[in-house]
Chains A and B, each alone.
Chain A
Amino acid sequence: MRRLQIPELGGANAAILHRPHATVVALTRQLEAIGLQAVSYWPDLPAAARSSDYLFLDVDTAYDDQFPWPAGQAPMPTIALVGSEAPGRIEWLMNFGADAQILKPVGTGGVYSALLIARATFDARAEMADRITSLRARLGQRQTVVRAVALLAARGKSEDAAYDQLRAMAMAWRVSFEEAAERIVSNAGPQESDHG
């Protein structure tokens, strides 16, 4: 069971990147009924729109240069307004990486669920990226852990006991296992580590 927080939508800002159109009117009406403030932009998204809480974009007409960030790196949850289902447009959308989508024409519904899904997907993606970064870092420190365990073992312990000692140190210092290993290796200085 995964818990999905309903985001704070009252007073949130939504940017709409779409030419003046009935779609913008219908979207704005729904957004305001939910309690958000909507601002539409065309043809370019100004840098100031980076601070919006949500972005709706028209996939039928969108191109990379409209956005003040590289493809796939939108700083807020994004919702695609899909009209044409031509494969080329869907391919562009995949590279852009929207968090939710609404099929056009936009009627009287769909925006609320899109907001919830976009926020949850965006947050999950950000959390996943953080986790990958931290796993990569830990993977990179594997060498350090091996050296730290070897250093501790060199003082007469078995490898298992040295490993347990390193874990106990990390807990006592309230740092990660890898960080504790890092401290031991750097404290050991060049001499002992060379020796190890």
Chain B
Amino acid sequence: MKRKIDLGILFSRSGTYSLLGEASLTGALKGIAQVNADPAFDIAFRAVTRDPQGNVDAYAPMCEDILRETAARHVIGCTTSWSRKEVIPALERADGALWYPVPHEGFETSDRIVYTHACPNQHLLPLLDHAFARHGTRSYLTGSNYIWGWEMNRLAREIGMRAGGSVLGERYLPLGATDVARIVDEIAELRPDFVLNQLIGPSQYAFLQVMAELRAKDPYFAQGNCPVLSCNLTECELPAIGDAGEGVIAAGPWFRGMPDLAQGEGCDFGSSFEAAAHASVMMLAHLLNDHPGAEMLPLADLLALPKATQMGINARTHHTSLPVVIAQVQDGAFVPLKSMGLVEGDPYLTMGRDTPRPALRVVT
């Protein structure tokens, strides 16, 4: 007889980044179905699902509601860093833990959160290395107007400077905005070696569309030249982008066709968002399996179990070891250009001697 354990699920199925939320939700539900069907687990999860509909102010109350109204102590959830930061106080008040299966910009290690997708040393740094070697160091930076884009571009600027490169321009759009003409005009004028794109949802779709139009009329931007780079584009958004996605180079822990992230427990996924949400559920299931009462343990105690280390979770940083892959969209699918094996998450870039030390800028 399996122990029934409530598990919170907090992803948006509508709003500007619904494709990402849907992908994470799908992965989490696949994980739950797999655990429940597998007699090797003495637990069964009951999903407690809430949908914040892309409204950043709905996340914290819904997270608190899950933790107060049900027996769930763990929540798989959040897409944007903004919403993740919003739920931290709720996790503290209501004594819960969040498994966050989405790429983020680093510089955070909440003891209430496990970060199961890539941070900058697992996406941005290897992606920039690749771009500097293949395309040059003159960059154009763009992104949606919140912490993800700001911090990723700050880091990119710093790393670029250290590599002797230059940032030709930097521009942001509000979440959901699609008036990308000004950005593309500027790129057409400045002719950078590559564009680092941290735009989210419809802004990114519109941007890639107008970039594709530019590529068709200006030979400098012909296919293969001045690629657009992304640290979070996956297969789950390609259908919304269509042909305009051709040539985009992205970094991620998983692309279609690779073995899955939860150590070969066979499932076919649509994207790394799905794979990482699935892996989060599987890692939690392994930690709770064969250990009655573990579902009530504080996160720190759970992550101190030897099983956590074996699965690649670092109890000190709450980040995971992940494969690093650079892949390019070719004929509608990601084709790996470079694979780096497992890399440990280093959210403050303090682990390696060779990790660049960024510098801040203060406006005075």
B316 near A32 with CB under 8 A, answer: yes
Query: CB within 8 A of B348: which of A2, A5, A9, A108?
Result: A9
Is A6 engaged at the interface, CB distance under 8 Å to the other chain? yes
Q: Mark B332-364, 1 if CB is under 8 A from A, else 0.
A: 000000000000000110111000011111111
Q: Mark A13-36, 1 if CB is under 8 A from B, else 0.
A: 000000000000000011011111
B361 near A1 with CB under 8 A, answer: yes
Please tell me the number of chain A residues within 8 Å of chain B, measured between CB atoms. Answer: 23
Is B318 engaged at the interface, CB distance under 8 Å to the other chain? yes
Is A46 engaged at the interface, CB distance under 8 Å to the other chain? no
Nearest opposing residue in chain B for A8, CB measure = B357
Taking the nearest CB of chain B, how far is it from the CB of A32, in angstroms? 5
**Complex interface residues of chain A between 20 and 57 (CB less than 8 A to chain B):** 29-30, 32-36
Binding site for B on A (CB under 8 A): 1-11, 29-30, 32-36, 107-109, 112, 116
Nearest opposing residue in chain A for B112, CB measure = A108
A34 near B361 with CB under 8 A, answer: no
Interface contacts beyond A2-B362, A6-B359: sample of 7 additional A-B pairs, CB < 8 Å, sorted by A: A1-B364, A3-B361, A10-B348, A10-B352, A33-B347, A35-B348, A109-B88
B359 near A3 with CB under 8 A, answer: yes
Collect the chain B residues with CB atoms within 8 Å of residue A9's CB. Answer: 348, 350
What 5 pairs across the A-B complex have the smallest Cβ distances?
Answer: A10-B350, A35-B350, A33-B109, A4-B360, A2-B362
Q: Mark B91-108, 1 if CB is under 8 A from A, else 0.
A: 010000000000000011
Question: How many interface residues does chain B have, given as a range?
Answer: 20 to 34
Q: Give the distance in Å from the alpha carbon of A35 to the alpha carbon of B316 in the complex.
A: 9
Q: Mark B320-337, 1 if CB is under 8 A from A, else 0.
A: 000000000000000000
Collect the chain B residues with CB atoms within 8 Å of residue A2's CB. Answer: 361-364
B360 near A6 with CB under 8 A, answer: yes
> With contacts A4-B359, A108-B88 known, is A10 near B109, CB below 8 A?
no
Binding site for A on B (CB under 8 A): 88, 92, 107-112, 300, 316-318, 347-348, 350-352, 357-364
Taking the nearest CB of chain B, how far is it from the CB of A103, in angstroms? 14
B359 near A33 with CB under 8 A, answer: no
Q: Give the distance in Å from the alpha carbon of A11 to the alpha carbon of B111 in the complex.
A: 20
Task: Please list 18 pairs of residues, one from A and one from B, whose beta carbons are closer than 8 Å in the complex, sorted by A's number.
Answer: A1-B361, A1-B362, A2-B362, A4-B362, A5-B357, A6-B358, A6-B360, A8-B350, A11-B350, A29-B111, A30-B109, A33-B347, A34-B350, A35-B351, A36-B350, A108-B111, A109-B88, A109-B110
A108 near B361 with CB under 8 A, answer: no
B363 near A1 with CB under 8 A, answer: yes
A6 near B362 with CB under 8 A, answer: no
Collect the chain B residues with CB atoms within 8 Å of residue A6's CB. Answer: 357-360
Q: Give the distance in Å from the alpha carbon of A116 to the alpha carbon of B364 in the complex.
A: 17
Collect the chain B residues with CB atoms within 8 Å of residue A116's CB. Answer: 360
Q: Give the distance in Å from the alpha carbon of A30 to the alpha carbon of B351 in the complex.
A: 15
Collect the chain A residues with CB atoms within 8 Å of residue B111's CB. Answer: 29, 33, 108
Collect the chain B residues with CB atoms within 8 Å of residue A1's CB. Answer: 361-364
B360 near A34 with CB under 8 A, answer: no
Q: Give the distance in Å from the alpha carbon of A145 to the alpha carbon of B73 in the complex.
A: 75
Q: Give the distance in Å from the alpha carbon of A4 to the alpha carbon of B360 in the complex.
A: 5
A3 near B358 with CB under 8 A, answer: no
Collect the chain B residues with CB atoms within 8 Å of residue A107's CB. Answer: 92
Taking the nearest CB of chain B, how far is it from the CB of A113, in angstroms? 9
Nearest opposing residue in chain A for B347, CB measure = A33
Taking the nearest CB of chain A, how far is it from the CB of B251, in angstroms? 22
Collect the chain A residues with CB atoms within 8 Å of residue B88's CB. Answer: 108-109
> With contacts A10-B350, A112-B348 known, is A34 near B359, CB below 8 A?
no
Collect the chain B residues with CB atoms within 8 Å of residue A29's CB. Answer: 111, 300
